[in-house]
Each structure stands twice: as C-alpha cells, then as structure tokens.
Structure 1
Amino acid sequence: MASPFLRDPVDEGAILVQLAFHTDRVLRDRQDPLCHTDEFLFERFRFSQQGLIYLQDLLGPYIANVTRRSRALTVLQTLCIALRFFASGTFLYSVGDAENIGNAAACVAVRKVYLALNQLINKFIIFPGHVPVNDIKEGFYAIAEFPNVIGTVDCTHIRLKKPSRPNKADFVNRKGFHSLNVQMICDSSCLITNVEVKWPGSVHDSRIFRDSTLCYSFEQGNYDGLLIGDRDYACRPWFMTPYPELAPGPEVRFNGALSRTRARIEMTFGLLKGRFNCLRGLRVEPDRACAITVACAVLHNVATLRRERVPVIVAHPEDNVEPIHLHERSERLQGTSLPSIISDSCPDDFG
C-alpha cells in the first residue's frame, strides 16, 4: 500500500510527460475575425483573410459608423455579420447570437452591406465582361467549339416567403411556391456579366429577356457576338437556341455543342447558391430579396476575380418515381389489395 506522505514516482513521470507536451493557451480577440485561419473564415464567411481585408477596404466608406460611442461595430464586424448571413441563410437572431449582438443590430449591419454592394454593381457586373470580347469568345469556343458566343442566358428562382402585398399571387411560380425569377448572363469563367432582378416567379423567362435593356441593345446592333439559351427563348439572329426536332447530322452536333456551352450558366447558379445559401430561401419582402440577390451576385464576382476557394456543391438526384394511376389496372395493384378494389369499383370517382 502506497504511503500518502510519499510521492508516487509514476505520478511524477506522468507530470513530466504532460509538461513536455504542454502548449500555451492562445486567447484570440473575438472582435478581430482575421486572427483565425483561412479554413475557419471560409466556412463562415466564404472569403479568406485577404479577401476580407479587400472587402473591408472596398466597403469601408459605405458602411463605417460615424461614431464610436456605445461600442459601435467596426467595419470588419459589420462585414462579417452580413457575410455570415449570406453564407448560412439562417435567421438573423442566430447570426446575432454568433457575433454576440442583438437581432436589431444584425439587421442593420446586413442592410448596410447589401445596400453598399448594390452601389458597386456597375463596377463588378459588366457586359460583355471584364476582358476583351475576343477573349470571351475564345473561352466559350474552347468548351465545345461553338463560335462567336459572348454570353449564355438563363433564369433561376429565388424562393421567398409569402409576400404581404395584394399581388402576392404573381410570385407563385409553375412549381407552386413563391419566388423571384432572376435572369443572369455569364461568361466562360462563370463570371456574372448581367443580372435582372425585379420579376415575380410567375413571369416567363422569355418575357424577362424581351423586356430587358440588354435585348434592346442587341436589337440595335450594339454588340458583336451571340447569346445562347434553352428552348424557353425565341431564336433570333443574335440569340441561338436548340433545334426543337432533331435530324441526324449537323443538327445533333449543333445541339450538343450548344448544350455543353450553355452549361456554364447552370454551373454559375450552382456556385452562386453554393457560396451564399441565403439564396435558397429568403424570409424577407421581395424588394429586400432583390437587393440581397444583387449583393450576392457582386460578391460572387469578387470571389471569382480573386480566385477564392470554390464551395463543395452536393448534387441531389431527382426522384425517379413512377406515377400510379388509380383508374388504370396495374400489375402491382392486381389481387385482393384495397387500392385495386377501390380503383375497379369506382373508377369515375378517382379518374
């Protein structure tokens, strides 16, 4: 039995080993997000340390508080609050809890940032792009050898909560939920070059493009190049769409090259919503949803131009479920099961 007055050599050896592997505790400043690693920052804000510094300098004149009384938020804190909301798409009180501020302060910070980004739209979203037109055409040609393309067009739906306005039925799209129908154009590097964010979900894609300023500019012959889109759009001399009925030969190759080239806009939508999960469902009124969508498009271009890390996009396969028609006798429903009895006895009630 060990004596309580003598030190156990085993315990002393354990203490020596523990001291050998001991590391000093590092206390980080909560008010300085830049003290974290790039991995930590990307998971929460979708930008690296250098990216946050760039945005801080870019948006500082627009979002800086005019006073430092009552411990006003710094430019970096305001920016990180908004980026956390854009990246996560969660409730504002959750963002406020993560940043140790109230719900009202988080709402004001997010509003400051997306309004500031809306003022920079003409600097970061430029048609046909930030590079010469010939470089844009060469980028698209390298994909599937489709010549003279300067942009690919498509629309995506941004889900909204039910608007509290008289024309709320206009926001119900063909899939049955409230949304904004947003038109975007991108180049071969998935850089957004044009965005139209003002139409409710019930408006057709071709109507949005037909009433856009860009369509009028193409009709006036202001651009040297082609746009490409899917079958939802009308074919024009400067707008190429797939053949509706294929014949063996050149038409099949034409549709294949156009489809592979047009896939860039689908990739852009995936990257945009992968970076900023708030675009998968906004719990705000349509006017604010339009401003937030534009802000996310500007941030996407900033991240693309700065070659920020690309988020991992998980593809969800579509449900492959065969429909069951109760008025038709099916092999799976034959026998003594109740659905087959109801289907056979009362076909008119379920047809």
Structure 2
Amino acid sequence: MSSPLSSHPSSQRRYRYRQRVYVEPTKPLEQYTTEELYARFRFGKADIEYLVNLLWPKLQHRTQRSHGLSVKDQIFIALRFYACCSLYQVIGDYMGVAKSAVCDVVKDVSIALASLVNEFVSFQPDCQQSTAHGHIQAQAPRILRERDGAYPLLPWLMTPFLTANTPTQAHFNTAHCIVRCVIECLNGVLKRRFACLNYLRAEPQKACNITLACIVLHNIATKCSVPLCADNDAPEPLGDPDQPPAFCQNEQTGRATRDTIVRHYF
C-alpha cells in the first residue's frame, strides 16, 4: 500500500528530476580540415599549436577557474567566440562545455592575449609616450554613439579643420584623412577576421581586452600568413579620401591640442 504522500501529484512532481545530459567535447584538430579550422576558428593547426605554446605560461594555472579545461581547449573556445560572436550558451553547446566556462575562458584568454600587446604591436615613440601619460578610461559604452561624421573634437580624438585657413592646417587635414582611411581599412579587416568586433556587448574593461586580443591575434595571423576567410562580410566602404567629413568641434581643450599638433608637426 502506497503512502498518501508518495501518491499525491504535487509530491510526484517534486521528486521528478530531469536527467542530466552530457555532451562530448568537440575535438577540432581531429574533426576538421585546415580549411574548416580557418572558417570556424580563423587559424590552422600549426597556428593553433603556436598559440598554445605562446599562452601556456599564462593559462595553465587557470584550469580551476576555467573548469579544468586544457590550455588548448581554452584557446579553441576563445577563438570560436572571436570568430563568430555567438552567445556563450551557443558556443558552450558547440564546444561541449558549460556557459559559465565559456564566459570565464573568453575573459582569461583575452587578458592573456592583451598582455602581449607590446610584443606584437609596434607603437611610434611619441604615440607610446602620449598613451602612457594620457590614459583614457571609457566613460560610457555609447560615448561615441552618434553617426561617423559627428565625432566631437576632444584632446584624445582629433578631427579635421572644417575650413583649412593656412597651409599647415591643409597639411594636417590631408594627413588626418590618409591615417583615417588606413585605420578604417584595418578596422574592416579586423571585423572580417573577428566577427565579435562588429557588435561587442561587454563592459568597458572586458571590451578593451577583447579588442586588444583580436589585434594581437591579427598581427600573429599576419606574421604566420594566415589567410583571411572570404566567407565573411566585406569591409565597410570608405568615404571620399579627398574630402574630410563634417565634424562637430565643440571642445576648447581639443582645439588647443590640435593647434599644438599643427604647430609642432606641420
């Protein structure tokens, strides 16, 4: 004779457990060809082995935080995020790990790669000194949310002169336009290689680490002659290089900084 408690419907629902489903982790090096690795992770087998050796000292002690994942597994998970920018849950299902593990891995690998920026990114001496003495902290994720042609003139954000009244101002506008086009072209290449940069939803510090990580990876890819996958969106078209866009200039300190640059370098 069954007890009243065990036969009660609510009791049966209370003691009904969902069966845990275990997903076998993906083994990309065994499952995919070189072309498939490029498409899914942006790097081939030899390149990934290079990344494993490069990041081993920085990631091997994080196995407890990263749920016991090997350094190679951590790199594959992070590369998958950089390449496709899927939700952590989607990447976790794809790689056979928990969502929380993906979150931790992306953070840890991004920090590890960002710490190597001085080894893989070259700065001009003046630029490096200026960066060191004028560190900029992001104040809000939407600080530059306006359209591309409406950036304000700030001490750390230079815009061209709306009207060049002197030869030096004209030279500044020309140099500014050339550099801007180069940067936009590079940004387009970065977004093609690492789709996460197209729409990065993260708090400022994490977003900075992810961006630096992608820049380091891009330079490594260039060094290792890694092909740029053609199955991604093409870079955004550039504006007319001969005509700088109209910028709003509303910061006195920004004007002073720009005038100093023109006076000393043009």
TM range (shorter): 0.5 to 0.7
- C-alpha change, 1:55 and 1:231, in structure 2 (3 Å) is farther
- C-alpha change, 1:209 and 1:41, in structure 2 (3 Å) is same
Alignment partner of 1:78: what SS?
Answer: helix
Counterparts in 2 of 1:30-49, with a 5 A limit? 32-35=27-30, 36-49=32-45
- Residue 54 of structure 1 corresponds to 50
- C-alpha change, 1:72 and 1:286, in structure 2 (3 Å) is same
Query: How much does 1:119 deviate?
Result: 0.9
- Residue 290 of structure 1 corresponds to 208
Counterparts in 2 of 1:222-301, with a 5 A limit? 240-242=171-173, 263-301=181-219
Root mean square deviation, CA, Å: 3.9
Alignment partner of 1:204: what SS?
Answer: coil
Q: Distance in 1 between matches of 2:200 and 2:47?
A: 25
Q: Distance in 1 between matches of 2:187 and 2:50?
A: 24
- Residue 250 of structure 2 corresponds to none
Paired residues of 2:113 and 2:216 also in contact (CA < 8 A): yes
Question: TM-score normalized by structure 2?
Answer: 0.62
Matched, 1:314 2:234: yes
Report which structure shows greater RCO (CA 8 Å, sep ≥6).
Answer: 2
Alignment partner of 2:228: what SS?
Answer: coil
- Residue 302 of structure 1 corresponds to 220
- Residue 103 of structure 2 corresponds to 107
Q: Distance in 2 between matches of 1:209 and 1:170?
A: 15
Query: How much does 1:78 deviate?
Result: 0.2
- Residue 74 of structure 1 corresponds to 70
Question: TM-score normalized by structure 1?
Answer: 0.48
Paired residues of 1:86 and 1:296 also in contact (CA < 8 A): yes
Paired residues of 1:89 and 1:278 also in contact (CA < 8 A): yes
- C-alpha change, 1:82 and 1:231, in structure 2 (3 Å) is farther
Letter in 1 for 2:106: V
- Residue 247 of structure 1 corresponds to none
Alignment partner of 2:156: what SS?
Answer: helix
Query: How much does 1:304 deviate?
Result: 1.3
Q: Distance in 1 between matches of 2:141 and 2:207?
A: 17
Query: How much does 1:174 deviate?
Result: 1.5
Query: How much does 1:96 deviate?
Result: 0.5
Q: Distance in 1 between matches of 2:151 and 2:205?
A: 16
| Greater per-residue helix proportion | 2
Letter in 1 for 2:194: F
Return 5+ residue gaps in structure 1 as ranges.
1-28, 130-149, 151-162, 176-180, 182-201, 211-228, 243-254, 319-351
Letter in 2 for 1:289: A
Letter in 1 for 2:172: T
| Greater per-residue strand proportion | 1
Q: Distance in 1 between matches of 2:111 and 2:63?
A: 20
Query: How much does 1:289 deviate?
Result: 1.0
Query: How much does 1:73 deviate?
Result: 0.9
- 1:240-261: CA deviations, max 9, x gaps? 434xxxxxxxxxxxx6x99677
Q: Distance in 2 between matches of 1:65 and 1:281?
A: 31
- Residue 90 of structure 1 corresponds to 86
Query: How much does 1:205 deviate?
Result: 6.0
Number of equivalenced pairs? 198
Q: Distance in 2 between matches of 1:73 and 1:169?
A: 32
User: Out of 141, 152, 158, which is 1:204 matched to?
Assistant: 152
The structure with more radius of gyration: 1
Alignment partner of 2:69: what SS?
Answer: coil
- C-alpha change, 1:47 and 1:103, in structure 2 (3 Å) is same
- C-alpha change, 1:87 and 1:231, in structure 2 (3 Å) is farther
- Residue 14 of structure 2 corresponds to none
Q: Distance in 2 between matches of 1:236 and 1:55?
A: 48
Q: Distance in 2 between matches of 1:73 and 1:206?
A: 44
Q: Distance in 2 between matches of 1:76 and 1:236?
A: 55
Letter in 1 for 2:221: A
